[in-house]
Amino acid sequence: MNNKTVRVRFAPSPTGGLHLGGVRTALFNYLFARHNNGVFVLRVEDTDQSRFVSGAEEYIFECLDWCGITPDESVRTGGPHAPYRQSERKTIYHDYAERLLAEGYAYYAFDTPEELERMRTEFKTEQNPVPQYDHKTRGLMRNSLTLSPEQTNQLIQDGVPYVVRIKIPEYETVRFTDMIRGEISYDTGVVDDKVLLKADGMPTYHLAVVVDDYLMQITHAFRGEEWLPSAPVHLLLWKYLGIEQHMPQWAHLPLILKPNGNGKLSKRDGERLGFPVFAMDWKDPKSGETTTGFRESGFLPEAFVNLLAMLGWSSGMEQEIFTLEELVQLFSMERVHKGGAKFDYEKAKWFNHQHIQRAGNERLAELVQPFFQKENIKTDKEYLIKVIALIKERCHLLPDFVEQGRFFFQAPAQPDLEAIRAKWTPEKTDFFQAWIDCLVNLNWEHDALEASFSELAVESNIKKGEVMLPLRIMLVGGKFGPGVFDIALMIGKEETASRIRNILELL
């Protein structure tokens, strides 16, 4: 890449950076950086206004750690372009704002929220329901363009709150090339004079990205498609600052949409439809409510990363299951889609199922243990590993191991007695009684077990098929699970006999 190190940056917002779309942006940044032996920079957006949610920074790092996409430069790791926290870069942004002000590309605006509101209602028409602060209206507002320099200075000295706005030209066409979409052009006549510096002294995203990307020598900037409309503002800023030649290449990633209905996927959808939209549990410090994450729902991080990668990108091959390292090798911007993708939770679970099959039983045992603990089931590690080997293929999410495996640890609490009673006969009671007695002297291995069962059935003049299902229900509680003799083998001679005996008494 032009002998220049590829540097990509991720600048998650405290609110938006937390969900699926945000993590995917981070992932694509990471994949592109690694693929090109570049650097993945994380700049933290910590705007100190009411919308800022404390704990978001920690949360983001934990998410990225979980996914295995740790940044090379960040607040945590340090790096040559520190600080990486926006609030610590305040004076830097001011310097750049001054430059724009001095050269007439920006101006001071003293309008109060009420005045802005008045303007919006006053100029509101059917054709223009949302009037903007732009070339059409700025001449009618209270700003350094309409005020004399003396008046402006006086207001500033008097401590009247002000913002700095970019002065967007009236007739100009801004063009740029997006790595995903190709040529894109905007007519500046429809762009408004965006605020660059807020009254509280903090920069808006518009100023911050441009300044940070320049100073941090970012070569490629990827973000969600929702940023496309503000791209012309950023382009103009690069130009006005005279740093155009250092501008990164842009790529606007397609949106992740609601599975049904319309619109961007949001936190609410997860709650409504019963699936996670956050990587990990997220507790909103303000409302105190917790939103369940993919991690806590029982997703493997590699599965989460895999399914995220396939949402808006494809390898072009038939293979769909990839490790992070494979994704790094295969990733290319050319294969990123333009259109938004609807999130499909069923497919997400399928990805997890696939990765569970590929995961080692020992690791699964560790991951699954907390879910057993939650249900107060004590698990011996060695035993649990054997159980996992037996049941993993029928598990899509980690909690499934509890449902599929609990009878290995405890006798079924509510066995499906009806299923047994339906075709029960006294002869069958005798049969099971006899089999329990056989068990005592039996060599405890699969074939011997099954042979004794089959032989006894023949002797008792009972069809083996008629007692197989009852046996299963006695041991398992229901019509599910691995081979019934494998189960008996696992739970042991005593337990097998005891479970049969107990059910027999209930019939």
Partner RNA sequence: GCCGCGUUGGUCAAGGGGUUAAGACGCCUCCCUUUCACGGAGGAAUCACGGGUUCGAAUCCCGUACGUGGUACCA
Site for RNA in 126-145 (CB under 7 A): 126-130, 132-133
Residue of 104, 83, 382, 443 whose CA lies nearest to 240:
104
Residue 66, Cβ neighbours under 10 Å: how many?
A: 18
| Token digits of residue 33 | 């950086």
Asked if 215 is part of the footprint of RNA (rule: CB under 7 A), the reply reads no
Among 381, 483, 501, 506, binds RNA (CB under 7 A): 483
Among 2, 148, 185, 441, binds RNA (CB under 7 A): 185
Query: Would you say 95 or 126 has its CB closer to RNA?
Result: 126
Contact set for RNA, span 78-117 (CB under 7 A): 111-113, 116
Interface with RNA (CB under 7 A), residue total 87
Question: What is the per-residue DSSP string for 166-217?
Answer: E---SS-EEEEEETTTEEEEEEGGG----EEE-TTSPBPHHHHHHHHHHHTT
Q: Which is nearer to RNA, 199 or 507 (CB)?
A: 199
In the complex with RNA, the residue whose CB is nearer, 384 or 475, is 475
Neighbours of 478 (CB within 10 A): 13
Contacts of 382 (CB under 8 A, 6+ apart): none
Q: Are 24 and 312 in contact (CB under 8 A)?
A: yes
**Rounded CA separation 350/55 (Å):** 32
What single-letter DSSP state applies at residue 414? S
* 11 in contact with RNA (CB under 7 A): yes
Q: Which residues pair with 184 in a beta bridge?
A: 176
Catalytic residues: 267
* Window contacting RNA (CB under 7 A); options: 30-38, 99-107, 227-235, 364-372: 227-235
Sort 419 into a burial class: Cβ within 10 Å, 0-12 / 13-18 / 19+.
middle
Candidate segments 70-78, 310-318, 363-371, 421-429, binder of RNA by CB under 7 A: 310-318
From 19, 24, 138, 472, residue interacting with RNA (rule: CB under 7 A): 472
Of the candidate residues 340, 399, 405, 477, the single one contacting RNA (CB under 7 A): 340
Select 175 or 381, whichever has its Cβ closest to RNA.
Answer: 175
The reply to whether 422 sits near RNA by the rule CB under 7 A is: no
Chain residues 244-263 in contact with RNA, contact rule CB under 7 A: 254-255, 257, 259, 261-263
Q: Distances from the Cα of 361 to the Cαs of 356, 357, 383, 453, in angstroms? A: 9, 9, 11, 31
Q: By CB under 7 A, name the one of 284, 375, 393, 455 that touches RNA.
A: 393
Residue nearer to RNA on the CB measure, 4 or 106: 106
